[in-house]
Structure 1
Amino acid sequence: MTRSATFGRPVVAVDIGNSAAKWSVRQPDSRATSIQRVSIKSHGWPGEIIRDVLSGHCPTMPADVLWRIATVSSPARLQLIDSLQRRFSPESIRTIAWRNVPIKPLVRYPDRLGIDRLLAGWKATRIYPGQSVVVVDAGSAITVDSVGPASEFHGGVILPGLSLQFESLGRGTDALPLLDSREAAEQSIELAVPAIDTVSAIRSGILWGTAGAIDRLIQMTQANGAENTDHTGAAKVILTGGDSARLSSLLKSPHTVSPCLVLDALLDDAILDEPILDEPILNDSQDPCARSSD
């Protein structure tokens, strides 16, 4: 599908993660609406997205709506597509796969790579063209990925996100409380070290520990890609994802915050216009991230 095919049509970008779906609508005049969010564990969540799009953004021309979907959850993808096909033609529904993203994935198994990581990495190269970028995506899982100046994805690392860490401590121990991750990560809460009560100790340990791990991983990623840096001597760093705002204030590494890189990528028509690159073939010695970045 070319840019001419999308011109004058509303585009709905849907980013389905492990726990929630986020969406935004780009109107024909290129205005993008505010980002909405719904839990994919809630009953009838696909209907909520469709109702919002049709009632608030595209009430007079539903047949013209073009849907672009990126997901790391196959069951959720099937749920959404099943609901969409009852209202929209199959030609208007596009699931974005790795081959649709104009970035060269230098990993062993591109088809196993999370599409959110590729989309965020590619969009980062659109923000900083010709420069190396470290993309930190802070969602249910946190990824720290390396993208080269010629739009090549070099792989990265994955660690548990804030919500998984809070849940793991609460459910995996007898004495520690299960904290609500959103409340526990509130920016207004002081993160004392040493903490003098259990709840504060959990908060400080997870938040400071996660920030420290990210800072260290950024340094290691920048050092490994030192030959492809800007004039400051370090790759640019972009922080994105649902917990990006909370972690931003705790990081020492210079960075910019772009909370919704994946949605921004889905709304960018260049994702469908630029040529799809051939799959690279790597041997074990060339693989920068092996199975960890499947």
Structure 2
Amino acid sequence: MNIVVDYGNSSAKVGIFDHHTLTDKRVFREEEALKDFLQNFPADHFIISSVNTDAHTVGSWTTAKKKFILHYTLPLPVKNLYATPQTLGVDRIAGVCGAQQIFPATNCLVIDAGTCITYDFVDAQGNYHGGSISPGLKMRFDAMHTFTARLPLVHAVADAALIGNSTETCMQSGAIFGLIEEIEGIIRRYSEKFDGLKVILCGGDTGFFENKLKASIFASPELVLSGLNSILLHNVSR
């Protein structure tokens, strides 16, 4: 069994894999609960991606025979052509590795809808090129409130009106439909440039957007976990 850990800012997502198959997923918000789980789960292999927690400390909690920390120097199942790999978010590279696992030998655009919206492209030859980053949905609402004198702090709603008839509904229309048009536009540009493009949507806002986009997409909320497992298997087999 493989254990993969995606340690974010507020919680740790843990995936348990039997080779390529995700058999279970846990979310831990308390470090002690994660430590207890890892110390008592008999894993063969382990990998962690962490944005702000000491990955070496978390790795010391597991008895797995082989342990890996996702870092820009770790060998990947894709060729990383990013100009500054040391600055690349580990969740972004895990996402494209997950996409290649689902759609091998295919041009793939990964859209991670979270705090920021990240767009990442891996080509059919397994070359990761990079992409783009823009503000996510919550960040857009926060920015309108923070950087203006009178706009309130509002939140996304599933049934936002295209034509707002109050300040609150106008802000909801602008943020939500503006972001939908952005995503649709990026997908269109990539589709015009790359044949047979597959678009994979992941991240915390996947559920909000997956039925609002006209483009054909493949929703994969656990793409980062699958990508981490793909990286783990790649290194175990070396």
Q: Does the 8 A contact of 1:140 with 1:163 survive in 2?
A: yes
Deviation per CA, 1:133-155, whole angstroms, max 9, x where unpaired? Answer: 11111111111121100111111
Distance 1:19 1:178 in 2: 22
Structure with bigger gyration radius: 1
Contact 1:101–1:119 (8 Å) recurs in 2: no
Q: Give the equivalent residue in structure 2 for 1:46.
A: 31
The answer to whether the 8 A contact 1:133-1:146 is kept is yes
Q: State TM-score, norm by structure 2.
A: 0.86
- Residue 94 of structure 1 corresponds to which residue in structure 2? 68
SS of the residue corresponding to residue 118 of structure 2 reads strand
CA-to-aligned-CA distance 1:46-80 (integer Å, 9 cap, x gap): 2232234557xx2xx4xx46431113x2xx231x5
Match of 1:14 among 2, 5, 14: 5
- Structure 1 unmatched ranges of 5 or more: 1-9, 39-44, 276-294
Q: What TM-score does the superposition give when structure 1 sets the normalisation length? A: 0.71
Q: What CA deviation, in whole Å up to 9, does each residue of 1:65-124 have, x standing for no partner?
A: 6431113x2xx231x543553x44696542112333211112211222112111111221
CA distance in 2, matches of 1:46, 1:65: 22
In structure 2, stretches of 5+ residues that fail to align are none
CA distance change for structure 1 residues 111 and 31 in 2, over 3 Å: closer, same or farther? closer
Q: What CA distance in whole angstroms lies between the structure 2 residues aligned with 1:48 and 1:186? A: 33
| Higher relative strand content | 2
Alignment correspondent of 2:25:
34
Are positions 1:253 and 2:215 aligned together?
yes
Note closer, same or farther for the CA distance 1:215–1:30 as it changes in structure 2 (3 Å cut): closer
Aligned residues: CA RMSD: 2.6
Deviations 1:166-192 (A, max 9, x none): 22222222212223xxxx3343xx210
Deviating beyond 6 angstroms after TM superposition, the runs of 4 or more aligned structure 1 residues are none
Q: How far, CA to CA, are the matches of 1:257 and 1:30 in structure 2?
A: 17
Distance 2:178 2:67 in 1: 41
- Equivalent of 2:168 in 183, 199, 206: 199
**Equivalent residue runs for 1:40-79 within 5 Å:** 45-53=30-38, 58=41, 61=42, 64=43, 66-71=45-50, 73=51, 76-78=52-54
Change (3 A) 1:147 1:29: closer
* Superposed CA offset, 1:33-53 (max 9, x none): 134253xxxxxx322322345
